[in-house]
Each structure stands twice: as structure tokens, then as C-alpha cells.
Chain A
Amino acid sequence: MTEKQPVETRRGDAGVAPASLSRTDLGAAIIRKRSRPGEWLAERGIFAVSLSSIVMIFLIFAFVGREALPVILGQTSNARTQKPLTPDEATKLPADKLAKYIGVSVSELKGYDAETLKTLVELKAEELAQVSNTDSRINTTSWQKMFQPHRWLGYDKPEYIWQPTSEIPKYNCIPLFIGSLKATLVALLFSVPLGVAAAIYVSQLASPKVREIVKPTIELLSGIPSVVLGFFALIVLATILQTIFHYSSRLNALVGGIALGLAVIPVIFTIAEDALTSVPKSYSQAALALGAAPWQVAWQVVLPAALPGVFAACILGFGRAMGETMIVLMASGNASIVSASILDSCRTITATIAAELAEVVFGGAHYRILFLLGTLLFAVTFVTNLVGEMIVHRLKARLEGA
């Protein structure tokens, strides 16, 4: 509509109609609504695309969450609490209970003759009698056992243990969370300073020639497949770091974290560099004209002005580090131990899912708990992003003077 408005208004004498148009014509010209099918279509198209990505995310979450639902609701149990029954007692049970006791379906049960049934009941009683390990009476898939320490037989204190394939499967998720956080922390401690410093250098201090070389080089890092980075960490980095620091476990959170950092640097760099470059040149000009040195301008004027973007870059880096799988699977040692030391091996949530999901019984407790881990990972990243977004928003508002 704007393009059809009388040009006169732009010259400042608004309201004065050109001679050829009366006032009423002018009024009609601005209220007449024209249909623009092209625009309408494009708008809807863009809307549909963005909607579909949201729906996609929701569907993925719903699927992962559904698989984990029985554990979340506490409906699963792998405790062996049944008492052995004599054949007499067993035959008195209603059909469905008996079927459950033996571990067959009701229809199968109906197909058995009395003799078979008796044998099955005896076998079950024998099996149950053999269970001497009192740990086996514990439902290891309860929330409590998944997140609180437990003193298992043979241990002298309560511990967090992830041993899903031992005789008594232990599903404590805490070691995996610690593993993920440790690797992510090392990765961020390594990549945030480097990524942001590189972004400051490239966007503020480097000469155009240097910028043209450094920027694409760092961005190229993001093109390296993570399996290659993992391989590099496994073979080269681990050896180098061990020779320098002389620690015992060759693959650990430090090696995994640094390799992870290499994958995160380009993410942080690219976004932080964008944020720093888009700070109006007039800010740095003002500072330079006051006699500030270029590094002072970069650090005291440009970085604070770009802080929302730089912070958002770090949040994205966190998400990438939490979600990255192959590098940590290859380079962090994968021992699910609870330890604060970054020189111990660690097993991350992602590596656990990747390594174990292919071998679990479909629909079993272990399977469901792996999906629970996936759900929690999703939730952690989601909440982090949400909180990060809120902080970014606040930082922005502060810069704009609200």
C-alpha cells in the first residue's frame, strides 16, 4: 500500500492532495485491500515449514518419551519376589495369576495338559528356590534405585552403579550424568575461551588478509566428521596428553573433553563472530576517537555489546557438547564411575545409549531405561536452552535500555 501513497506526504506537506485526486479518492486508495496470492502463498509456505519442524521435534520427543513411560511411571519391576508354590497351591490359582507365575500367556496355558503344567510349576519352584542373592528381590528399575545410591551385596557402602548386564542389573543413571557433565565441562572450558577469543580476534583485530584465512579455517573444523575427531583423540591426543601429564587411564574425560571441544569451537566461533561483527561500527569508532587502544575497544565496548550473541553461542556449544556421541564414545574410556577427577574415564549418556541400545531386549527394562536417558538428555538440553534464551533476552533488554 505504501508505494501507492501520494508522494507529496514525503515532502512534508502531508494531507495536501495532488490536484488530480480528490480527498475521497485518496481515502479510498489507502483502504482498498488488494489480494496478493503470491505473498499469501509464500507466507503460508514458510509458516508450514516452521510448523513442521516444531511438530517433528514434538513427535521425536513423544516417541522417546513413550518408550520410557513405563519406567517413568514406575510400572516396571525386575524384582524376583515370588515365593515358590507347590503344584497343589498352583492349580488352585486363577488362570491369569498362574500364567503370570509361570511366565506364559493365558492362551498358552490353556493349551497345556495337567502333566506339563505340573512340570512347569516344579521347574519354576526350583528356579525360585535357587535365588540366594537377596539383591535379586530388589526392583532395580525404580526411581530410587536409578538415582540414589544403594549398598549392594558385597559393597561396604552405598554406591551409584551402572551395570545393566550384570546378574543383578544395576541401572543407576548418576554416573552417566556425571560422565556427560564432566566431558561437557572440559569441552566448554576448552572451547569457550578459544572460540570467543578467536571470534574477537577475527572480527576486531585481525587484518582483512588474516581474517580471510583464519575464518574459513576454523569454520572448516565443523566439517570434520566426529568419528575422525574421535579417532584422532584416541590415537594421537590421548598419547600426547598422557606423556605430558602422566596419568593412569589413557582415555579419560580430559581427552574426550578436549576432542569434544574441537567439535564445539567452530559452533561457538561462528555465532560469536557473527554477533561481534554485527555490533555497529559507530561504537568502536566512538571508543577509538576517545583514544582507546584496539584491544580495549574489542574487550570493553564491542564484547559487552555483543554479549547476548556470544552467550547464545556458548549455549549452543553446550547443546552440541552434551549431544555429541561418537567422540566421547571413542575417547573418554566409557567407564561408568563416579569421580570428580577429569583424569578418570567417564561414560556419557549419549555413548551409553549408542553402545547399548543395539543389544538390549526390545521392550525390556534396560531398553526402557535407555529411552529414559534419552528423554532426560532431551529435557536437560531443552531446559538449558530455555534458561539461556531467557538470559539472552534479559541481556538484550539491558543493552537496549529497557
Chain B
Amino acid sequence: MDNPVFHIEKLNFWYGAKQALFDVDVTIRPNQSTAFIGPSGCGKTTLLRCLNRMNDLIERTRVEGKIALHGQGLYAPEVDVIELRKRVGMVFQKSNPFPKSIFDNIAYGLRIQGVNSKNDLADRIEASLRKAALWDEVKDRLNDSAMALSGGQQQRLCIARAIAVEPEVLLMDEPCSALDPVATAKIEELIQDLKKEFTIVIVTHNMQQAARVSDHTAFFYLGKLVEFDVTTKIFTNPANKQTEDYVTGRFG
């Protein structure tokens, strides 16, 4: 198969003295979507946040093991986190638009990357809002504050903001947890679309969603990777008993 985007090997992670990840091995392939599933507190977010080094912001955390992006170790001293985050975008579990206008929310990332012409901005903002299935709802009020949008609209705005800068990888932490079924369906559709351009890693608690949108699925339990395989295999014929219990809903 083609070269992996992320190669994770024997990754251990600590919050202070508390270990949150134990010897995790995952490979993330280009133009595919990979789902992380598992019960609450099993380390899905933690692993996701290792991929763009957002965990650096938390004090007294420690990483051991290997994470490479196209062969380059992410935690090597010469890595520029800012460049890394421009290439690996992220959508958070809780929507977090800036207290600025809808337009400026998306323009912010673009401006950071040096897009300044009014036309370019407008075009790319429209394109990303369309992709995030939000354009029709906000096209007449791009200059209104994003804080006035509904929770679900805010989350789609955050998705639009993340994809506007065209990252290579998009990390999504339960992007649909605040959305209604219609918006969720749109986002799932979007994920299918985005796969053509980006590589996607998605954390979800929704088994059907994982089954629908992902090509590979990793199941975690208590900070350990239990099983990692092609999604259809995980959901139809898992090798591990725990995985089977979890995906069929028999798991506490």
C-alpha cells in the first residue's frame, strides 16, 4: 500500500504521573478516514491531540515512542509546531468559533497563511462554507457575529474554518456530537467528499457513524489499542471479544 501519513509506534503518553496511552501502534493512510472508537476516557482525544501536538499546551505532559508524519518524527526538536498545525487541522469536540463575524472566523486561518486579497478570501470562504453545508444558512449574514449561530451551525462553521486552509490531515473530535441528524448526515457526506482531498481521523461515540464514514477503525480501551483493522472487519468479524462486545453495544 501507499506510504502512511502517520505512523505511530509504541506511543505512551502521560498527564503528570497518570499514563493515558500505553504502547499504541496505529497507521493512518492517505485519503482514507480512520475512526477512533472506545468508551469514554480511553484516550481517543489524547491520541488525536498528539497528532498535531496540541497536547504541548497542557502542562506536565510527557510523550514516549514514535509518531511520524511522512517519516518525520513529530516530536523531534527541529519540528516547527506552527507549520505542523497548518498541515494538520483540527475540529474540536466542543464548537469554538471566535467572537468575530462569520466571515472573519474563516478568514482568520486564511490570513495567517497569507491569503489577503478580498476576492480570494471571499471565494475560499464560500467554498468552505458550502462544503460544510452551512452556506445556504449564512450567506446573507456573513458579517454577523458567529456567536449568534446555533450550536450545530457553530460546529459546521468550525469545520468550514478548518477545511478552508486546506490542511493535509483533518482531525475531528466527535464533530457531530452537537448536531441534529440532518446536519450529521451532511457532515458524514462531507467526510466522504473530503477524503478525496484530505486524510481524515475522526473520534466518534456513534458506532453507525464509524461504520458509515471510516475505512479503518481503531478500538481503544483504558488507554490501550485493542484492535485496529479495516472498518468492515471490526464491525462484522472482530478478532477480539472486547471489540465485539463494544461495537454490538453489549459493553458497559
A398, B86: Cβ atoms closer than 8 Å = no
Distance between Cα atoms of A258 and B99 in the complex (Å): 35
Q: A291-B109, A401-B148 are in contact. Are A282 and B94 (CB under 8 A)?
A: yes
A289, B54: Cβ atoms closer than 8 Å = yes
A275-323 residues at the B interface, CB under 8 angstroms? 280, 282-283, 285-293, 296, 300-301, 304-305
Q: A304-B100, A401-B145 are in contact. Are A288 and B57 (CB under 8 A)?
A: yes
A399, B147: Cβ atoms closer than 8 Å = yes
B112, A208: Cβ atoms closer than 8 Å = no
B111-154 residues at the A interface, CB under 8 angstroms? 112-113, 144-148
Q: A208-B59, A288-B57, A399-B147 are in contact. Are A293 and B99 (CB under 8 A)?
A: no
Distance between Cα atoms of A358 and B161 in the complex (Å): 66
30 example contacts (A-B, Cβ-Cβ < 8 A) are as follows A282-B92, A282-B96, A283-B96, A283-B98, A283-B99, A286-B92, A287-B98, A289-B52, A289-B89, A289-B90, A290-B85, A290-B86, A290-B89, A290-B108, A290-B162, A291-B85, A291-B86, A291-B87, A291-B109, A292-B82, A292-B112, A296-B112, A300-B108, A301-B98, A304-B99, A399-B145, A399-B147, A401-B99, A401-B144, A401-B145
Q: A304-B100, A400-B99 are in contact. Are A290 and B145 (CB under 8 A)?
A: no
Does B158 count as interface, using CB distance less than 8 angstroms?
A: yes
Does B83 count as interface, using CB distance less than 8 angstroms?
A: yes
Does B160 count as interface, using CB distance less than 8 angstroms?
A: no
> With a CB–CB cut-off of 8 A, which chain B residues contact A401?
99, 144-148
Does B26 count as interface, using CB distance less than 8 angstroms?
A: no
Given A280-B96, A292-B112, A401-B147, 11 further pairs, Cβ under 8 A: A208-B59, A285-B54, A285-B92, A286-B98, A289-B89, A290-B162, A291-B165, A300-B108, A305-B99, A401-B146, A402-B148
A290, B92: Cβ atoms closer than 8 Å = no
> With a CB–CB cut-off of 8 A, which chain B residues contact A300?
108
A400, B147: Cβ atoms closer than 8 Å = yes
B70-113 residues at the A interface, CB under 8 angstroms? 82-87, 89-90, 92, 94, 96-100, 108-109, 112-113
Among A280, A289, A304, point to the contact of B85 (Cβ < 8 A): A289
> With a CB–CB cut-off of 8 A, which chain A residues contact B89?
289-290
> With a CB–CB cut-off of 8 A, which chain A residues contact B98?
283, 286-287, 301, 305
B148, A290: Cβ atoms closer than 8 Å = no
> With a CB–CB cut-off of 8 A, which chain A residues contact B83?
291
Chain B 53-71, CB-CB to A under 8 Å as 1, else 0, gives 0100101000000000000
Chain A 174-214, CB-CB to B under 8 Å as 1, else 0, gives 00000000000000000000000000000000001000000
Q: A290-B86, A401-B145, A401-B147 are in contact. Are A285 and B112 (CB under 8 A)?
A: no
A286, B158: Cβ atoms closer than 8 Å = yes
Distance between Cα atoms of A286 and B85 in the complex (Å): 11
Q: A291-B165, A292-B112, A401-B144 are in contact. Are A285 and B96 (CB under 8 A)?
A: yes
Chain A 128-147, CB-CB to B under 8 Å as 1, else 0, gives 00000000000000000000
Q: A296-B112, A400-B145, A401-B144 are in contact. Are A288 and B54 (CB under 8 A)?
A: yes
- Total interface residues on A, CB under 8 Å, equals 23
> With a CB–CB cut-off of 8 A, which chain B residues contact A399?
99, 145, 147
- By a beta-carbon cutoff of 8 Å, the part of chain A in contact with chain B is 208, 280, 282-283, 285-293, 296, 300-301, 304-305, 398-402
Distance between Cα atoms of A287 and B84 in the complex (Å): 13
Distance between Cα atoms of A292 and B162 in the complex (Å): 13
Distance between Cα atoms of A304 and B100 in the complex (Å): 9
Residue of A at shortest CB range from B164?
A290
Residue of B at shortest CB range from A286?
B96
> With a CB–CB cut-off of 8 A, which chain A residues contact B52?
289
Chain B 190-224, CB-CB to A under 8 Å as 1, else 0, gives 00000000000000000000000000000000000
Distance between Cα atoms of A95 and B100 in the complex (Å): 77
A159 to chain B, nearest CB (A): 52
List 6 A-B pairs, minimum CB-CB distance, nearest first: A401-B145, A291-B86, A401-B148, A401-B147, A282-B96, A290-B109
> With a CB–CB cut-off of 8 A, which chain B residues contact A289?
52, 54, 85, 89-90, 92, 162
Distance between Cα atoms of A291 and B97 in the complex (Å): 15
B82, A287: Cβ atoms closer than 8 Å = no
Distance between Cα atoms of A293 and B92 in the complex (Å): 19
Distance between Cα atoms of A95 and B25 in the complex (Å): 111
A355 to chain B, nearest CB (A): 48
> With a CB–CB cut-off of 8 A, which chain A residues contact B85?
288-291
Distance between Cα atoms of A290 and B105 in the complex (Å): 11
> With a CB–CB cut-off of 8 A, which chain A residues contact B57?
285, 288
Residue of B at shortest CB range from A300?
B108
A311 to chain B, nearest CB (A): 15
Distance between Cα atoms of A300 and B98 in the complex (Å): 10
> With a CB–CB cut-off of 8 A, which chain A residues contact B109?
290-292
> With a CB–CB cut-off of 8 A, which chain A residues contact B87?
291
Among A280, A291, A305, point to the contact of B112 (Cβ < 8 A): A291
Residue of B at shortest CB range from A398?
B145
Residue of A at shortest CB range from B145?
A401
Residue of B at shortest CB range from A207?
B59
Distance between Cα atoms of A208 and B58 in the complex (Å): 11
> With a CB–CB cut-off of 8 A, which chain B residues contact A293?
82
Residue of A at shortest CB range from B146?
A401
Distance between Cα atoms of A305 and B108 in the complex (Å): 14
B161, A290: Cβ atoms closer than 8 Å = yes
Distance between Cα atoms of A401 and B165 in the complex (Å): 25
Distance between Cα atoms of A398 and B98 in the complex (Å): 12
